[in-house]
Every structure is written in structure tokens, then in C-alpha cells.
Structure 1
Amino acid sequence: MSLLVVGLNHRTAPTSLLEQASVSGDDTPKVLHDLADAAHVTEAVVLSTCNRTEIYADVETFHGGVADISDQLSRICGIDLGDLAGHLYVHHDARAVGHLFSVVCGLDSMLVGESQILGQVRGAFRAGQAAGVAGSALSGLFQAALRVGKRAHSETSIDAAGASIVAVGIRLAASSLGILSEVPAVPVAPPGGAAGELGGAAVLAAPVAEPPPLAGARVLLIGAGAVGSLAAQTARRAGAAEIVIANRTPARAARVAEMHGGRAVSLADLPHEILMADLVISSTGATGLVVEHDLVAAALPGRGGRPLVFLDLALPHDIDPGVRALPGVSLIDLEALRVALDGAQVAHDVEAVRALVSTEVAGFLDRRRAGRVAPTVVALRAHADSVVHGELARLHSRLPDLDDREWELVEGAVRRVVDKLLHAPTVRVQQLAGAPGGDSYAEALRELFDLPREVPAVVSAPDLDLVERS
């Protein structure tokens, strides 16, 4: 058996394809059972968010598992596997573990460090348990991943990474609008600090200087995902007079607007809203341009010469770079933010989480290798106990005159001899399990002692209390 993850995310697929690949809560049980019925899949968990759909599985063979999971993703998306394959990624064993640990820590998110993914991973795991297809292999993996995610968010300031990018972008925009004369250094709130929070993400407090960075400004937000919601909160804290949220899904725009005291509109309203806005922040994740040059050019005559700033937080770009050439229009993109951001602390936190993930992956793999040896050790001792029991029974029939005290001494001596003979090989094989090729030592013991291949129940039974507590 081996671990495998096959999926697509915001880096490998356009938003339209991610939407097709999305698996709703109602559809999850059927997808899980279809995976469990596949020839090479023994366990499965489906993680589906707005930025990714991934299937984690314990499989009997690598190639067979990849084929089964890829076919399932093709059916979910409703497109031919040949067209889908270029958007898929595959991670196996150690890389699969490292990928999940990075995902749950927010390192693989569009907004680095966001903590919403922690709850999404937990929900996916519980759905797999409820469907009866997340067994001991994936339970151990996901329990470890959730623990690593909690450590990352509690022991570092990774939550602040995305918030810092948004806050710096807003301050640069305020400077372009003439509200600020300069852009001061941006402090990053420590874990549990006094800064505001959104889903666990620290948000920079409003600067001491008056007026606030966006005092009196009209802010139009295009996109109502995690980045858009964080931008709405940051803009509100920065003193924006009006916040308008436009999104392809009206319900999501309305939800973010309600959270932050804004107003929801449809994408069809963009021409009018751009005409009225001072700052436009876009973060849709679309594959094509959302705001084109001609749309902005058409709005300029009615603005009365007011400056207009675009803050493009999307990758790939939402805003046509050509708008920079229009009079009174400024464009700030992610590249500009990387130059402006004093990211020493942010970079430090990201590297700290990466180091944590690396250490935890190594520890998990060591424990898994040792766990694979455990059934062999248990089987060896069970075999030895059976041999001892049989030999003592025969000896007892040949020495019927021994009293209880004498028989106790004989039995104890025999068992001590067997325990001492088994002690060194069983301890050593557990030590060697963590080394490259460690499984071969357990295999050698099974061959030498003709041990059964079945895993003893005492080893294979999952810890249901531990699973439930997680």
C-alpha cells in the first residue's frame, strides 16, 4: 500500500475548470464510494475548495491508483481525461505527505497563511470517515496533518503573510490617491496580538497618522473569496467611506458585503461602479482579464479628473496592464507589492513553517516505517509464544511428577531464553525501519520464520477514540 494524491488547483487550472471539478457536500459520499469500488484504491478522502480539488488515497499500486483517481476526476469534471491531464498533479508517498502538510498550513493557498483551509481539511477527513473509506492509513496521515496545521498557526505569524500583502497594497493605493504623502513601513501583527482577525488571519491595525489611509474613499472589490473578504476588512479599517463588492456569484458577494458593511452588485454593474470608485481591488482568480482597457477608458470622461487606482491581487492578472497608460490611472500589481513589501518578518514566518513541515514529514515517515514493522514483530512474538506453549505442553506430559513450584521454574526459564533470543532482532528491526530500505528487514524476518502475511488484529484495529477526538 502507498499514499497518493492527484488533484488540480488555482496554479494548474482555470477558475472555470475548478468550478467543474468542485465536489459538493451532497455529492461527496458517492464520489468516495466510487473511489472505494475502484480496483486499486483502498482508502480515500476528497478535499474540494474554491481553489482546489484533490483526492488523497491509499492505493495498492501507483500506476493503477493514478489511473483510477484520474478517471474519477475526469467524470467529476465532465471532460475527457486527455484534456484534463495537463491540469493534474500527482504526489506519491513522501511528497504526498509533504503536500498535505503544506496545504493545511496555508503554504499552498492563493492567500498564503490563510487558516480557513485547516477547517476544510478537517471536514474532508470527517466526510471520509463518515463514508467508511478513510481507514487507518489516511486517518494517521490526516490526524498528523491537522496537528501540524495547528502548530503552524499557533507557533508562527504565518497568518499575517497574506494580510501584510493586502495592507501594503492598500497603503500604496492610498499614496497614489494622494491621501498619504508616503508609505511607512508596515508592522506585522504577532500571533494573538491586538490586530484584527479574519478567519485567524492577523490584519494590520489602522496607522496612528490622521486621516486614515482611505478616509472618504469609495472602494470597489471585484471577487468575494478569501482575498476579497480580507481586502474588504482591511479597507474598512483603513477608513473607506463606501465598500462595494462585485462577484460572479451574487450570494457570495452579498455575504461578504454583509460581513463588512458594504453593498453587493453584479459584474454587469462594473462600468458604473468603476465610474464612481476611487480604488478598485480585484482578486477573482479568473484566467482572463476581468477589467479591460476600453472599459476603464470609457469611464474616465465622467470622473471629472479624479485619480483612479487599481490594486490587482490576482494571479494571473485581472486588470489589463494597458490601463497604466490612461491619464489619472494607476495600477499596482503583485510584482509591485513584492518590491514595496518589507517582507523580512513575513519571509521568516513562511520559512519557519516550511522548516516545521519538513521536520514533521520526516517524523511522520519514520513513524510510518516503524508501524509497518510492528505487525512483523507482533507476528514473530506470537509465533514464538505458540512454539513455547506447544513445547511446554509436551514437556509437561513427559515430566508429570514435577510440582507446581518446579514447573513454574521450568516454564520461566524456557520463556526467558526465547525472550532473550528475540530481543535483539526485534529491537534492531524497529531501529532499522526508519532507514532507507527498512521494509526489507521486516520482509527478511517474515521469510526466515515463515510468518503469516496477515496483519494481527491487535495492530490493524484503528484507535476509534483517537479518531473521534481528532
Structure 2
Amino acid sequence: MSLLVLGLSHHNAPLDLLERISLDASGRRDLAHAIAGSEHVREVVVVSTCNRTEVYAEAATFHGAIADITDALSGQSGLPRADLTERLGVHYEDGAIAHTFRVASGLDSMALGENQIRAQLRVSLHEAQAAGLTGSSLNQLFQQALRVGKRVHTETGIETYSSSLVETAFGAASQIVGPPVQTRLVVVGAGAMAALVATTAARAGYGSIVIVNRTYARGEALAFRVGGRAAHLAELPDALGAADVVVSCVGAPGLVLTASVVDAARAESQRPQVLVDLAMPHDIEHAAGDLRGVTRLGLDHLGARLRAVTGNPVVRAATGLVDTEVADFISARSVQAAVPTIAAMRERGATILAGEVGRLRSRTPNLGDAERREVEIAMGRLVDKLLHGPTVRVKELAASGRMAEYADALAELFAPAPAAESGAVTLPALAYDRPSEGGSSEVTGAASGAGDSERVAGVGPTAGGLTGAAGESDRGRAVEREA
């Protein structure tokens, strides 16, 4: 099975298409369940924000998963499959890991370095977990990506350096209408984004701030916090006519400002005006930007401006941190994939050890318990020491991505004993006191140092040093160690 990310983002689709495919919580849930019904998909998380709608999946088969996810996206959005196919971005295995980490770090966002995406990923993961649609693969991927995203924002300063959409919009507006102190600002909406706009404007020293909102009390509360004034929604045309900059961030179905409303409000004005649309779906009709003296700035325009900062040292530092974390995660994932091979090696060693211990007991019935225990401990240590080197080497091969070159040889070398040799003799557990130094290393870490034992994803040392089942004996019997 393999990791797969498939979907649309601001990189490969225009904003009007992203608006059509954007999903709320109910839509994400329906899409996730539709995809989970595919025989080609084992785990699924659906992420849908103003910048992207993407499906993160653990796929049983690549092409089958691609086809079924595309069909589900088409069915959920109502977009023709052909329209989706020509734009869908696909990230596979290592590329899917890198993409997820970049998304969680804000390095793939339209507003480079923005911090909201982590909360959005976390919500999407929790939705999928609650529906039972995730397993170890996507859980590990998302949890590590979220950790890395937090680390990027904590350690690199990208959030403080990288201009927000609001700051970028104000910077562009000031080039057209003049400095903030001379600028009259109207903010349409009173939600979280509107609050960010208003507080940013207040810090920048805007000449006047008017908050227009459907619910007057909310608008009034926000206006009070920023030293502005509130207006009813019915007063929007008058406020619009007097404004130099209008920022709309409602995002409700339907347009908030049409070209005709803007044109009528500006009938008496000769001054330039900037309309900033921060909503998804968009609030301000695109045609409003064609009016004389009017400049419309949407998310696509602002995103293009923000992406120009990618060559900055802070962005390079954030990118380098993410790249290192991606490499570590891929290495750990490769080592984890080597668990079956390591388990087979240890199982083979346990089988041989159990057989030899059984043979020893049958041939030395008069050997004292103390002497027998010492011999069995020595045999267990010998097998452990012999397997330590190969175990470390298998981990190294997995971490370097070279396991495939040796898979067949390892399978042949550590094939289980022939079933015909199996019997059913129970061997009591041995009291084997194992040394502590270098004794345990998780399979997701690097190879352990020199020591007498290692623990590998549940295939850990037990009495005598190895877990094991059926073993060989010269009488054709198998010996099993008790749990």
C-alpha cells in the first residue's frame, strides 16, 4: 500500500473552480465516505480550505485509487470528470509525504507561512478518525506533519516575516490611494478575518474605519475595539461611496458587492478606489474591477504577490527544516517497512534455538538445573549476537532505500523451517537476564548501537533472547517456547 494525495489547489486551478469544489464539514464527510467505499483505498482524509480541496489516502492500488477518488470528487462537486482530470495534482509516496509536510507548514499556502492551515488539517484528521476512516499510516503522517508545521512556525520566524493577505492587500492599496493616515476604510463583515483586517488597519493608523455587518451588534463591538464606527448593512452603498479601500470577507453564498452597486455608489466620485476580496466564495463581482478608477484585488492577485517572497532567507530556512523532517520521516517509514524481514530473521533464529534446546534436553536428562540454565543462556546470547549484525544491516538498507535489492535474498536465507519438521513439544520459558546497555531500539529509529539485543516492533527479546515457535529436532519434533 502507498500514500497518495490527489486534488486541486491554487497551484493548478483558478479560484472560481476552487470555489465550486470547496466543501464544508458535511461535504468533506460525504466525500470521505464515498472514497472509503472503494476497494482500492484503505484510509482517507479529506481537506478542503479556500486554497485547496485534496484527498489524502493510503491506497491499495495506485491506478484504481486515482480512478475512484476522481469519480468521487466529480460526483461530490458536480464537476465533469474530464474537467477535473486535466487539473488534478497527484503526489505519490515520498512526494505525498513532502507535500503534506509543506502544507502543514504553510509553505504551500497562497499566503505563504499562514498558520490557519494547521488547525484545518487537524480538524480534517479528527473528522476522519471519528468516522473510522484512518489507520496507522495517515495518523502517523498527519500527526508528524502537524508537529513539523508547529516547529517551522516556532523556530524559523516565518509567521512574523511572511506578509499576511491583509498586510499584502494594504500594501498594494497604499500604492494606489495613498498612505493609511489619509485612507478611509470600509470592512464588510465582523468575523475572524474581518477582525484581523480591522485590527491590522488600526495598527497601521488608517484615517477612519467603518465596520458594516448584517448583525449590527457584532459590527459595533468590533468597531469599538479598533476605534471605528459601525454601520448597518443597508448603509453599505453610502459607506462604499465615501471609501478609499473596501475589504469584504463575508464568504456567504451570493455576491455582497456587484459591479452595478459599486458603479452607482461611485457616481459622484473621481477618486481611485481599491476593492479587496478576501472571501471564498468571492464577495465582490469580478466585473467591478473593470469600472473606471476601481482596482479589485482578489485572493489570486494577493497570492501571486506573496509567492514572490520565496527567495527570502527565512523562507529558505523553513524549507530546509521541512526537507530534513521529510527525509527523516521517509527513512523511518522505510525502516518500519523492514519489520517483516527483521521478524523473519528473528523467527528463524528462535526456531533454531528452540530446536537445539529441545535436543539438548533430550540428550542430557541428568544435567542439573543450574548447569542446564547456564547452557541455555549462552545459546540464547550466541544467537542474539549472530543476529545483531544482520538486523542492523537490514535497518540500514531500509533507511537507504536499498531493501528492494536484497529482498529476495533475505527471504531465501531466512525462510521458515519446512512444515514437515513441525511437532508439538512445549519448552518452558527460560529465565534469561538480558544486559541493558544498547538493548532496545524502536524500529522507527536508527540502527541501535552494539548491544546484545534489540526490540523490533513487537518482535522483542524474551527469555533466551528470541521469541519463537516451531523448531527443528533430530527426532522430527518441533519445540515451542511458552509465552
TM bracket (short chain): 0.7 to 0.9
Q: Could you say which residue in structure 2 is the equivalent of 1:86?
A: 86
Residue segments in structure 2 that go unaligned for 5+ positions in a row: 418-442, 444-455, 460-483
Partner residue in 1 for 2:97: 97
Query: 1:128-143 counterparts in 2 under 5 A?
Result: 128-143=128-143
Amino acid at match of 1:85: T
- Name the structure 2 match of 1:363: 328
Distance of aligned partners of 1:275 and 1:443 in 2 relative to their CA distance in 1, 3 Å threshold: farther
Match of 1:383 in 2: 348
Residue type matched to 1:91 in 2? H
* Aligned positions of 1:81-230 closer than 5 A: 81-163=81-163, 166-167=166-167, 169-170=169-170, 173-174=173-174, 176-178=176-178, 180=179, 213-214=180-181, 217-221=183-187, 230=196
CA–CA separation in structure 2 for the residues paired with 1:99 and 1:222: 34
User: Is the contact made by 1:8 and 1:52 (CA closer than 8 Å) also made in structure 2?
Assistant: yes
In structure 2, what is the equivalent of residue 274 of structure 1? 240
Contact 1:228 1:283 in 2 (8 A): yes
Q: Which residue of 2 aligns with 1:415?
A: 380
What letter is aligned with 1:459? A
Q: Give the 3 Å change call, closer, same or farther, for CA 122–335 of structure 1 in structure 2.
A: closer
What displacement does 1:310 show?
A: 1.3
Match of 2:208 in 1: 241
- The Cα shift of 1:79 comes to 3.0
Deviation at 1:5, TM superposition (A): 0.6
Q: TM-score, normalised by structure 2?
A: 0.71
Deviation digits for residues 229-253 of structure 1 (CA, Å, limit 9, x no counterpart): 543331233234233458xxx68x9
2:272 equivalent to 1:308: yes
Q: State the TM-score, normalized to the length of structure 1.
A: 0.73
Out of 385, 402, 405, which is 2:367 matched to? 402
Distance 1:269 1:433, change over 3 A: farther
- Counterpart-to-counterpart distance in 2, 1:133 and 1:340: 38
The one-letter amino acid of 2:38's match is: A
Tell me, in whole angstroms, the C-alpha distance in 1 between the residues paired with 2:249 and 2:345: 59
1:66 maps to: 66
Q: 1:322 to 1:37 in 2, by over 3 A?
A: closer
Q: 3-state SS of the aligned residue for 2:206?
A: coil
Q: Once superposed, what is the RMSD of the aligned Cα atoms?
A: 4.2
Residue number in structure 2 paired with 1:198: none
Mapped contact 1:274–1:299 kept (Cα < 8 A): yes
Identity of aligned residues (%): 41
Residue 29 to residue 344, structure 1, CA distance change in 2 (3 Å) = closer
Which residue, out of 351, 358, 361, partners 1:393?
A: 358
- Tell me the SS of whatever aligns to 2:399: coil
Number of residue pairs the alignment of both structures matches = 412
CA shift in 2, pair 1:459/1:443, >3 Å: farther
Query: Which residue does 1:9 correspond to in 2?
Result: 9
Does structure 2 retain, via aligned residues, the 8 Å contact 1:372–1:439?
Answer: no
- Letter of the 2:399 counterpart: G
Change over 3 Å in CA distance of 1:120–1:419 after alignment to 2: same
Q: Secondary structure at the match of 2:312?
A: helix
Gaps of 5+ in 1: 181-212, 462-470
**1:313-348: per-residue Cα shift (whole Å, max 9, x none)?**
77999576655x64xx6788999999999x889922
The equivalent of 2:411 in structure 1 is: 446
Measured after TM superposition, the shift of residue 275 of structure 1 is 1.6
Partner of 2:475: none
Deviations 1:402-449 (A, max 9, x none): 111221232133223322322221111101112233344345323332
Contact persistence 2:177–2:274 (CA under 8 A): no
TM-aligned CA distance change 1:451 to 1:138, over 3 Å: farther
Distance 2:52 2:343 in 1: 41
Q: Secondary structure at the match of 1:87?
A: coil
Letter in structure 1 aligned against 2:136: S
Q: Tell me: CA distance 1:85–1:271, structure 2 relative to 1, closer, same or farther (3 Å).
A: farther
Deviation string 1:27-68 (CA, Å, 9 cap, x unpaired) is 544543433331111111111223322111111121111112
* 1:285–1:17 Cα change, 3 Å: farther
Shift of the 347–413 alpha-carbon distance from structure 1 to 2, 3 Å rule, reads: same
Q: Helix, strand or coil for the counterpart of 1:302?
A: coil
CA distance in 1, matches of 2:148, 2:195: 26
Residues 436, 125 of structure 1: alpha-carbon distance in 2 compared, 3 angstrom cutoff:
same
Distance in 2, Cα, partners of 1:20 & 1:345: 29
Between stretches 133-142 and 233-242, larger displacement belongs to 233-242
